[in-house]
Amino acid sequence: MIEQSKSDIAHNMAVITDRIKQACSKAKRNPNTVRLLLASKTVDVPRIEHALSLMDKPLMGENRVQELEQKCPKLSQPHPEVHFIGHLQSNKIKQVLRWADCIQSVDRPSLAKKLQNRLLFEDKHMDILVQVNTSYEDSKFGVKPEQALDLVKKISEFDRIHIKGLMTIGLFSADKDKVRACFQRLVSIRQEIESQQIPGVEMAELSMGMSGDLEIAIEEGATIIRVGTAIFGERQYPDSYYWNEQRT
Ligand SMILES: *Cc1c(COP(=O)(O)O)cnc(C)c1O
């Protein structure tokens, strides 16, 4: 069965690569400007490693601290780049700093403050993206679009945290215009932030687009797309398991 699932993954990776190429050609973009991140929640290490082995610049993202801690030590050397893409509770910062190269889901000043303090304590630095709730759904985490600039300004005061761009989860909808509107909102927030020329703040990365909407995201300027289902198959848990966690 493992062999079977490996060839499935290889096939799915080829399909995704092709989708990226097609979307880039439609948007007149260079495919090298779009990075694929494997959204590997619920997927076991052998399958993740198989997918990573097919990538030029292996990049994976985990949603839950528990899975991050379980899987990362088992990944063979050299390690892939690992991003944390789930809701981060401040009492789990320490574990995430141990394994992640970037936290894509910073969405509130209190979390940033605690992150800064821990980074000072460990004498480390961390790259982050600011997560924006562009769909205004209550079930989604992320700062409200209207408050994104303010949050970025606050975080920019923390010298150990390096803002590299923005992340969002688009609306789950068959209405492509509504999905697109979410991504366009992220782009316009980026423009607003860039125009302020805040010292230390970079806006190079736009992490947006998943299995169902990556073409739209690429057309709107995504630099990182986060893909799970289209590579690894359906998950056994509903996404609400990951996105409706209790806030602390
Ligand atoms: C699961 C997940 C993805 C990937 O979603 P798919 O629909 O499985 O491609 C992307 N981003 C985040 C934050 C996720 O939790």
More confident residue, 182 or 1: 182
pLDDT at 141 over 50: yes
Q: Write down the pLDDT at residue 2.
A: 52
Local structure of residue 197 (DSSP, 8 states)? T
Question: Does residue 63 belong to any structural domain of this protein?
Answer: yes
Task: Report the pLDDT averaged over residues 76-92.
Answer: 93
Query: Is the model's pLDDT at 244 over the cut of 80?
Result: no
Q: What is the Å distance from ligand 1's center to 227 Cα?
A: 6
Tokens of 115: 């992150």
pLDDT at position 226, please? 98
Q: What total of structural domains would you count in the chain?
A: 1
Question: What pLDDT is recorded for position 64?
Answer: 96
Does 149 fall in a domain?
yes
Domain assignment of residue 121, yes or no = yes
**What does the block give as tokens for 219?**
């057309």
176 within domain boundaries:
yes
pLDDT confidence of residue 246: 43
Whether residue 191 is contained in a domain is answered as yes
Q: Which two tokens stand for residue 104?
A: 């894509």
Q: Does residue 154 sit within a domain?
A: yes
CA distances from 209 to 76, 93, 160, 197, 217 (A): 28, 26, 28, 26, 5
Average pLDDT of the chain is 94
What is the whole-number distance in angstroms between the Cα of residue 121 and the centre of ligand 1? Answer: 32
Pocket test for ligand 1, best of 43, 226, 239 (most atoms within 8 A of CB): 226
Q: What is the pLDDT of residue 180?
A: 98
pLDDT, one tens digit per residue, over 29-65 is 999 999 999 999 999 999 999 999 999 999 999 999 9
Q: Which of 105, 210, 235 to mutate to test the pocket of ligand 1 (most atoms within 8 A of CB)?
A: 210
Domain CATH number, residue 78: 3.20.20.10
Considering the chain, what percentage of its residues have pLDDT values greater than 70? 94
Ligand 1 site residues, Cβ closer than 6 angstroms: 39, 41, 63, 85, 169, 210-212, 226-230, 242
The residue-averaged pLDDT of 68-96 equals: 95
Please report whether residue 245 resides in a domain. no
- Residue 248, pLDDT score: 35
In a domain, 65, yes or no: yes
- Categorize the per-residue pLDDT at 139 as very low, low, confident or very high, splitting at 50, 70 and 90: confident
Helix (H) or strand (E) holding 164: strand 161-167
Quote the domain boundaries for residue 145: 6-232
Quickly count: other Cβ atoms within 10 Å of residue 173's Cβ.
14
Contact assessment for residue 37 and residue 224, using Cβ atoms and an 8 Å cutoff: yes
What is d(CA 77, CA 75) in angstroms, rounded to the nearest whole number? Answer: 7
